[in-house]
Amino acid sequence: MPFRQLPALLAAAFVCSLAAAPALAQSRDRVFVASYGTDSGNTTCSFEHPCRTFQNAVNNVAAGGEVTAIDSAGFGQINITQSVTITSPPGVEAGVVAPAGADTVDISGSNLIVVLRGLTLEGNTTSNQGVNFSSGSGELQIIGCRIRNFAYNGILAIPSTGALSLVVKDTVLSDSGYGMTLFPGAGSTIKAALDEVTVNNNAYGIGTAANAAAVELLISNSHVDNNQNDGLIMLGGSTSLMSTAILNNVTFNETQTGIALTGYSLAWLSHVTATSAPGIGTGVSLAFSGSNNTAFSDGTNHLMGGYSNGVTLQPWGLQ
Amino acid sequence: MSGGGTSSGKPQGAFAFAPSQPSPRYPRPSKHGDTVMLLLLRLPLALFAAALACSFAAPAQAQAPRDRVFVASYGTDTGNTTCSFEAPCRTFQNAVNNVAVGGEVTAIDSAGFGQISITQSVTITSPKGVEAGIVAPVGANTIDINGSNIIVVLRGLTLEGNGISGSGINFLSGGGELQIIGCKIHNFVDEGIVLQPDASSGTTSVLIKDTVISDNFIDGISLATRNYGTLQVALDEVIVNNNGIGIAVNTAPSAVELMVSNSHIDNNKTDGLSLQGGTGALATAVLKNVTINETTGMALKGYADVWLSQVTQTTAPGVNGGFGLTFSGSNNAAYSDGTNQLMGGYGGGASLQSWSSQ
């Protein structure tokens, strides 16, 4: 190489490195959104220069990183395909509204860990789902959220590959078609734990469908009230595809049936209060349909609406 | 994923709530948009041109209401129909007037934001760290709600009656839902919360959670119905303290169901819980893990049922002189599962029936 060309080459390399630098920047572990943020040309989403939408922040955060809202605003619908935590801290009201027929939060991918904290998801009766875990596997935590007014489901979990662990805590699911539906595809399973959850005034409270893969649902210290049809409706597929629910300290107060086992379903009840008021409720506390249903009770439950279709309770002994 | 549940590898059909099916409550998104497009396509060219010309005058026309609007101590209402975060409104009322149906009104900072009249679905939020309050004039209510099948959510608000305002929340809607979460409602000359839905359009659902209702002269919470609808009310983690009557239920002309859990109904001046029904309109209350500490804990005043589990009713010598449970009128019944402590005893011939556990 002739030496006289070297300065020009060095200069060119320097210019190229300047131009390429933004594209080579590593994703940050912690990014931010704000009402005054901007997405255009913004791939850092730093606290000093936050993004405007959750989607742009999610696109630019490192896998497993954190997206935090700085102030109150609507931050737009989100499509999540990698592990991430999205937080609206106390004092901030970060909301998501989706167009009619869309979901506010879509999640898909294998072995993801997704945490949603403090968000308000509003469906305006026309959006489909609040949170849609639409394929894949991993863990989903929904903590301190308000999810309401969706045409179909507040939360829909339909994992397709491997196990999904779902935690819902300190959250209100209201005014939707279903407050929550668990519906694993073949080859998947769902283990769901709900604590301090209010499921109020949906068409149906919670639905579990294990006709393709097993579901285990644990609900504690929660209220499933004022839903227009069943508070909890369960369906399994066979003796190896059971829908199982364990309830501890839960109230059911519905217009129709409190807990409906519609085939291949198991319910274990402790400190459950299911009410049925004359002049209001026309249903029963516990109903069976289909075959292979069993309900176990430890003697601490009040099932005021009684039973239908020859339901009997099996003893659940204490040790 | 739209609808969901029907792609390959997914279980299909067989279950009433398969998400591919429309919900039994909400119809699929309407086709009104298609109809509008067809009409537009059929417009004569001249009309279209006129519409286009008008569209240039758009700045004079209001934009579509926003889904999310804001109020702040430094906001202004004059000429402000957007209530954006950058240019917030000053009052809740102006924000409510300009938000889309079902939208959200959020307070940015702490201030008083004025009384509100609500006639459409809306959420009003004072986030943690913000103290958004409302004070109303003499005799007026701080929040009036009256609509058909609307969903109203009130979160984190402080409603102050100063001993002169009428009621904190006056809910006269029919059908729909009211959620009151994390609010403080005190010092009204009438009631803290009045729930009197015109329920001819269906069952009305009310959820009150993590809320303090105190120091109201007549009732902490008053429940009744109009026009033969029904009312279902769920209270959880609620404190009802130092009101005239804590919770008063008067069911005429139709049924009311009240469920109270993990709550405290204490220090009210007469009855903690007053239940009065009528023929064909039973007043029902289910209490689970509740404390009641009044002159009369629970007063059943005809056509009333109460179901008690883990209820502690206290009476201190020299402080409370009444009863734990009293009956008046006819057709009253109180059921106990053997986990309750009713220290004040019984009046008016009241007695407990067994409420068996399963």
Distance from CA of A140 to the nearest CA of B (A): 17
Is any Cβ of chain B less than 8 angstroms from the Cβ of A79?
no
Question: Is pLDDT of B345 > 60?
Answer: yes
Question: Is pLDDT of B9 > 70?
Answer: no
B37-80 pLDDT tens trace:
322 223 333 333 443 333 334 344 457 899 999 999 999 999 99
Q: Do B23 and A125 touch (CB under 8 A)?
A: no
Is any Cβ of chain B less than 8 angstroms from the Cβ of A148?
yes
Is any Cβ of chain B less than 8 angstroms from the Cβ of A297?
yes
Distance from CA of B189 to the nearest CA of A (A): 31
Is any Cβ of chain B less than 8 angstroms from the Cβ of A286?
no
A window 19-78, beta carbon within 8 A of B? 35-36, 71-74
Is any Cβ of chain B less than 8 angstroms from the Cβ of A214?
no
pLDDT confidence of residue B316: 66
Tokens of B300: 């059943």
Q: Do A253 and B257 touch (CB under 8 A)?
A: yes
**C-alpha span between A288 and A276 (Å, rounded):** 17
pLDDT confidence of residue B174: 82
Nearest to A97 among B15, B67, B151 (CB): B67
pLDDT confidence of residue B101: 94
Q: Which residues of A touch B303 (CB under 8 A)?
A: none
Distance from CA of A88 to the nearest CA of B (A): 10
pLDDT confidence of residue B230: 79
Q: Which helix (H) or strand (E) holds A19?
A: helix A6-24
Q: Do A156 and B19 touch (CB under 8 A)?
A: yes
Question: What number is the average pLDDT over the span A164-174?
Answer: 97
Question: What number is the average pLDDT over the span A15-41?
Answer: 75
Q: Is the ipTM, as predicted for this complex, more than 0.85?
A: no
Chain B residue whose CA is closest to A254 = B232
| Average pLDDT along chain B | 82
Q: pTM higher than 0.95 for the full model?
A: no
Q: Do A101 and B2 touch (CB under 8 A)?
A: yes
Question: What number is the average pLDDT over the span A53-70?
Answer: 97
Q: Which residue has the higher pLDDT, A39 or B56?
A: A39
Is any Cβ of chain B less than 8 angstroms from the Cβ of A185?
yes
Map chain B to HEC letters: CCCCCCCCCCCCCCCCCCCCCCCCCCCCCCCHHHHHHHHHHCCCHHHHHHHHHHHHCHHHCCCCCEEEEEECCCCCCCCCCCCCCCCCECCHHHHHHHEEEEEEEEECCCEECCCEEECCCEEEECCCCCCEEEECCCCCCCEEECCECCEEEEECCEEECCCCCCCCEEECCECCEEEEECCEEECCCCEEEEECCEHHHCCEEEEEEEEEEECCCCEEEEECCECCCCEEEEEEEEEEECCCEEEEEECCCCCEEEEEEEEEEECCCCEEEEEECECCECEEEEEEEEEEECCEEEEECCCEEEEEEEEEECCCCCCCCCEEEEECCCCEEEEECCCCEECCCEECCCCEEECCCC
A252-269 pLDDT tens trace:
988 789 999 999 999 999
Question: What number is the average pLDDT over the span A105-110?
Answer: 97
Tokens of B234: 């769920």
Question: Is pLDDT of B25 > 70?
Answer: no
pLDDT confidence of residue A284: 86
**C-alpha span between B78 and B75 (Å, rounded):** 10
Q: Do A35 and B337 touch (CB under 8 A)?
A: no
B316-344 pLDDT tens trace:
666 666 789 999 999 999 999 999 998 88
pLDDT confidence of residue B12: 33
Distance from CA of A203 to the nearest CA of B (A): 6
